[in-house]
A and B are shown apart, each in its own frame.
Chain A
Amino acid sequence: MKFFYIYKALAHPENDGYVQPFTQAERLLHVKEARRTIGSRVPWICDTMDNALKHALGDAPNSEFVIDPEGKVVRRRQWSRPEELRRDLEELVGSVEQPTLVSDLQLKTERPSQVAAKGVVPRIERPSGLEALRIEPKLADDGDKKPVPFYAKLRAEADASLRQSGRGTLSVGFHLDPLYHVHWNNLVKPLHVEFDADEDAVTPRVWDGPRVDLDSDIDPREFLVQVNIGEERKPLGLTVKYFACSDEQGFCLAVTQRYTIHFERDPDAGRVQNRGRGGARSGGGGPTSIGTLVWVDSKESEVSVLLGNGELKTFRLSANARLMRRGSDDLRDFEPGESVRIRIEDGEITGMALP
């Protein structure tokens, strides 16, 4: 019996600061990082940059398959469920006398690294309904020079109007890739962006990042742009300039990089969940409680929960609340009567999951 994890595109970019890789080498570094942070010894198969494995096997973020010795699918599940997988394997290959428990594995998990302050530059307010666009970083450098990595990576999102008619709002964000352990240098000129378009078509056409009091930080640099490029929606080019510094490796580089934004939805870009909290996972923070959902108002983002002490309380979900209900992170999928674990900070729910 063999087990493999298949490493795919990020489901929720920005969690713990991770961003979608641009190259296969970066995705392989993600695999190493996954091994380091999760501590599992199960081997990984890394998906290719065209996401061929993900597409061929159903495009789900955490699916699982059991293959028989002839290579045929004998079990498939859209969302992995370890207890059901164990039952499947007992059925297919027989039970074992002493099943291994997760605690037996003594997994050595590690936290993602953080090289400078975060949470110092406030996140921007975005309109609703934005979807990630396909972006094309200009990877190859001229000549034989070793290409400079994309220390900061672009994520571009557009509203429905822009995607359909070529006129609307574009959200532009540059995120430092934690794989490279770099930070912004706030002692020099801030990040600078220039679009290859007229001021009539893209406003603002030129943008400079905020001045930050701290010498360094790792917060995203982001802004909104009003775009009017007509129904043809020709791809939009941009140039970004910034300084990336690594205290570990002792460098501070002036970087200039180019991108092309295509006005089409990128189905593999993932969905940002924790925007506004510096992308932290719901690992720390306020206290957690167990309760039973009595009422779910997905429109108002409110839930009433019967807490363990018999108290019925209504909570508002924070804008960045992290929700997990098996295959879903949508409040509409939670149902009254379900037992939930909730995390409360400042009177608001910041995390809710099935226990």
Chain B
Amino acid sequence: MCRLSGYPPPQCRANQSFQICPAKPRNFFAATVLISNPFVDETYFPICHFFPGVSMRALFAMFSFTLLATPAIFAQDNPDRREVSPRERVNRQFDAGAPKLGDSLPDIAGLTEDGQEIRLSSLKGQHTVLVFGCLT
């Protein structure tokens, strides 16, 4: 595997730590270093670390975490930005607000098509189906 000590390759600055790997590294950042420092040994591929003692993998993990965590932190700070899909919003409203199975319908009034009052409590005596809808 890679070795962390030995003679520093010419691409790396004096204060940079480095790895010498016996095969071409596969990760993206290592490849980037190789492209910008085209020292390609037949046998060894050097990887310079940007910060002394911190491996590219650790840097990548920190970067990814920051990238992923930022929206969540924002959403916590600002409720208006919290992403709730319209479907989720409707689901929550329905679960919380609709009468449960076994409940009586609330005694609310609506209007018939000719404008007469009709109360939900009057819908008794037979099975009744109510379906919500609108023009759009």
Q: Spell out A's residues near B (CB within 8 Å).
A: 1-16, 18, 24, 28, 30-35, 37, 43-48, 52-76, 78, 80, 85, 89, 92-93, 160, 163-164, 270-271, 327-330, 332-333
State whether A2 and B108 are in contact (beta carbons under 8 Å apart), knowing that A60-B98, A72-B103 are contacts in the complex. no
Are A45 and B112 also in contact (CB < 8 A) when A55-B97, A271-B86, A332-B85 are? Answer: yes
Q: Nearest chain-B residue to A270 (Cβ)?
A: B136
A7 to B102 Cα, complex, angstroms:
24
Can you spell out 20 A-B residue pairs with CB atoms less than 8 angstroms apart? Answer: A4-B129, A5-B130, A6-B110, A8-B133, A8-B134, A24-B115, A28-B111, A31-B113, A33-B135, A44-B112, A47-B110, A53-B110, A60-B132, A64-B129, A65-B99, A65-B130, A66-B130, A67-B105, A76-B100, A80-B131
Output the least CB separation between B47 and chain A (Å): 32
Would you call B129 and A3 a contact (CB within 8 A)? yes
Do residues B128 and A43 form an inter-chain contact, with CB atoms below 8 A? no
Give the contacts of B78-117 with A (CB-CB under 8 A): 78, 80-81, 85-87, 90-91, 93-106, 108-113, 115
In the bound complex, do residue A328 and residue B87 qualify as a contact, i.e. CB atoms below 8 Å apart? yes
- Nearest B residue to A82, CB-CB: B131
Which residues of chain A come closer than 8 Å to B120, judged between CB atoms?
53
From DSSP, what is the main secondary structure of chain A's interface residues? mixed
A58 in contact with B135 (CB, 8 Å):
no
* B126 adjacent to chain A (CB < 8 Å): yes
Q: B interface, how many residues as a size bin?
A: 35 or more
Q: Which of A44, A64, A73, A93 contacts B99 (CB 8 A)?
A: A73
- Asked if A85 meets B129 with Cβ closer than 8 Å, knowing A70-B124, A330-B85, the reply is yes
Q: Give the residues in chain A near B93, CB-CB below 8 Å.
A: 58-60
